[in-house]
Amino acid sequence: MATGTLPAAAMARSSYGPGVRMGNWNEDVFLEEERMRDFLDRRERGQLLIQHSRWLQESLLTKMQLSVSEDGYVHFGDSVMLVNLDARDQQPGEWLAGDLSLSVTPDALQAHLGGQLELPCGLSAAPTRTPLGRNTFLVLGCWQAACPDPQLRLEYEGLPVPASTCLLLTHSHTNRGLAVHRHLTLRTYFGREAEVAAHTHLDSHRVEQPQNHWLLVTGSPRPGLATMLDVSPPPLPTAAAQGQ
């Protein structure tokens, strides 16, 4: 019987397969986990680069001027804020309180590397009433507005959209209402904010709940007041008021 030895290269081929890890793989795994923990910790303390970048300060966090409505209505091209008013008395439980404004929440890595807002991007509801770059929007035709009072909805259909008045905003293609989920919060690099989704919340009478109520907030014509939220907001349209 013939005997002999295998070359070193042949032994290497027979000893290693696709599932074998080479090098300091265990150390690499620990380093990756440590980098992730460091990222989450810095994000929680507001120490990410995106939180201090010049682009962030000059675009998303710069103060904006909202359009002033001269006739009391919202027009295409107006700069507005979308605000969900605080409704603590109507929604018991633990949630993010206060007036919340719809805001863009870009991906941290893409925003830092690209230095600009990449669309589409995430949305959230931030606890602020100050118009900033991230919560000021132009009015376009991808959403439809409706009166929240079902008894007046048909009467208001086709009429101009009143500014800074409680409305329902429905997505044109899915017929789902824009909603804020105050009980579901997100830890963004801007702070603790509420989740936003396209979902219609109905009560037992098939009426939209406060999660779907929004104000298209315009600028205030009065000196020293930034928005119409600083002025007494108009009451919710009701059938009784319409009869008067």
Give the model confidence (pLDDT) of 204-237 as tens digits: 999 999 999 999 999 999 988 889 998 865 555 5
Residues 24-49: tens digit of each pLDDT: 667 777 777 888 887 777 777 666 66
Half-sphere exposure of 236 toward its Cβ, with a 13 Å CA cutoff? 15
Distances in Å between the Cα of 12 and the Cα atoms of 4, 18, 22 are 17, 13, 12
DSSP reduced 3-state for 198? strand
Residues 44-69: tens digit of each pLDDT: 766 666 665 666 767 888 899 999 99
70: left (phi over 0), alpha (psi -120 to 50) or beta: alpha
CA–CA separation, 202 and 9 (whole Å): 71
pTM score of the predicted model: 0.71
